[in-house]
């Protein structure tokens, strides 16, 4: 029996600590066989995602991994994670800090963090997040992490309310890396790098696919969860690329669908009713594909729609033919990369660059299978938490 003790923890806003949030602290001894199985499963999921990217995207890769076949897949891989730890991490702690713990998209980010941190052999792997989009609660959780100690911090998204907290992590010599959001170097003192995606790239790629499906004519719609720099960037790039490649397609001004699903469906139904010539669309928010699928059900319309995030409900909508496809915003891979950057920093290897942007390939129905493997792992972890 391997005597290494590893803790995997989930911390709620009430500071309940447990391997899967059971209201207690549980020390989990793992045999070598279990550790090896976890590592193999993590690398298998990563490999499947590479295959999906290779088959569904011609975008250039960001390859920083160490696998033997990395050279063969580098032309199309989204990200190849480290297959071995840069040093012994068995006595090290790593934390993930964000908000919206139960949100399907953020669960995807958590899983990338969780899988890669365990694959690299961290002694403690902890997810800390309030259920709500409440940054005050997130800061309180961060204060608790700082007080009890950690060796590295991955921030799933980031908010100005965290600036002072993150700086104090940096002052304590604890490396912090932001996932999913592009920030300027120095904007958050204490952050050593970010791992994110370029919003404009998938907006432009979606325009190419949708415009072709529309036959170069008709009207295309845009809906956004809200008006913010990330979603605005996707929408602007979609419009610009559509105007460039398909000048006969009219692109409507963006409509705010919001984040309440029934309300979002109603707004999209109203948009389709007012614009009977709409045959193409994008949504720039993670729940948009499900909202559009609901609107398709209500109206009986067929719309070539693409939205973000490889969550199970979104993929089911593609599988069932209700929407065209998904932009695989690399939330899982971003947080794998964030873990790798933190691990390297802990081992004395500072990041080569601050900005790390990954591609977001457009995935159609024939490319879904590898992404279902990831959400299966998420569902298993969440079921164990309950």
Q: Which two tokens stand for residue 276?
A: 């009977």
Q: Which two tokens stand for residue 286?
A: 């993670």
Place of tokens 């493997």: 373
CA distance 167 to 165: 5
What is the predicted pLDDT for the residue at 240? 98
Domains assigned to the chain: 5-197+330-385 (3.40.50.2300), 200-327 (3.40.50.2300)
Which of 305, 245, 238, 313 is closest to 278 using CA atoms? 305
Give pLDDT tens digits along the chain (386 positions). Answer: 333 334 565 554 432 222 222 222 222 223 333 333 334 344 434 434 433 443 333 333 333 333 323 222 222 368 999 999 999 999 999 999 999 898 888 998 999 999 999 999 999 999 999 999 899 999 999 999 999 999 999 999 899 999 999 999 999 999 999 999 899 999 999 999 999 988 889 999 999 999 999 999 999 999 999 888 889 999 999 999 999 999 999 999 999 998 889 999 999 999 999 999 999 999 999 899 999 999 999 999 999 999 999 999 999 999 999 999 999 989 999 999 999 999 999 999 999 999 999 999 999 999 999 899 888 988 888 888 77
Buried b (16+ CB within 10 A) or exposed e, 258-289: bbeeeebbbbbbebbeeeeebbbbbbbbbbbb
CA distance 295 to 366: 23
CA distance 342 to 345: 5
Q: How many CB atoms lie within 10 A of CB 25?
A: 11
CA distance 273 to 228: 26
Is 0.85 surpassed by the pTM of this model? no
- Structural element, H or E, at residue 17: strand 17-18
């Amino acid at each position: 029996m391997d005597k290494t003790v590893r803790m995997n923890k989930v911390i709620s806003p009430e500071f309940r600590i447990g391997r899967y949030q059971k209201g207690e602290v549980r020390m989990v001894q793992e045999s070598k066989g279990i550790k090896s199985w976890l590592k193999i499963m993590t690398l298998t999921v990563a490999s499947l995602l590479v295959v999906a990217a290779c088959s569904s995207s011609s975008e250039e890769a960001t390859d920083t991994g160490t696998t033997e076949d990395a050279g063969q897949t580098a032309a199309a891989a989204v990200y190849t994670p480290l297959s071995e730890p840069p040093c012994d991490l068995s006595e090290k702690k790593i934390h993930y800090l964000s908000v919206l713990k139960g949100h399907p998209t953020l669960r995807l980010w958590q899983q990338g963090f969780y899988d890669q941190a365990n694959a690299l052999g961290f002694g403690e792997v902890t997810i800390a997040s309030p259920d709500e989009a409440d940054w005050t609660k997130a800061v309180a959780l961060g204060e608790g992490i700082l007080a009890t100690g950690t060796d590295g911090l991955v921030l799933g998204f980031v908010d100005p309310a965290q600036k002072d907290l993150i700086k104090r992590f940096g002052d304590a010599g604890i490396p912090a890396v932001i996932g999913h959001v592009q920030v300027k170097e120095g904007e958050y003192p204490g952050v050593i790098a970010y791992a994110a995606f370029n919003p404009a790239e998938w907006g432009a790629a979606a325009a190419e696919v949708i415009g072709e499906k529309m036959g170069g004519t008709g009207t295309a719609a845009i809906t956004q969860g809200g008006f913010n720099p990330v979603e605005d960037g996707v929408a602007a790039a979609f419009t610009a690329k559509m105007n460039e490649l398909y000048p006969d397609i009219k692109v409507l001004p963006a409509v705010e669908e919001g984040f309440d699903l029934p309300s979002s469906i109603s707004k999209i139904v109203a948009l389709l009713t007012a614009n009977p010539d709409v045959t193409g669309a994008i949504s720039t928010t993670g729940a948009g594909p499900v909202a559009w699928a609901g609107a398709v059900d209500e109206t009986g319309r067929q719309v070539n729609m693409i939205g973000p995030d490889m969550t199970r409900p979104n993929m089911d909508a593609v599988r069932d033919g209700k929407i065209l496809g998904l932009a695989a915003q690399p939330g899982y891979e971003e947080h794998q990369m964030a873990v790798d950057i933190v691990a390297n920093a802990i081992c004395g290897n500072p990041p080569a660059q601050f900005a790390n942007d990954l591609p977001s390939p457009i995935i159609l129905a024939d490319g879904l299978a590898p992404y279902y493997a990831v959400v299966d792992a998420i569902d298993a972890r969440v079921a164990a938490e309950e």
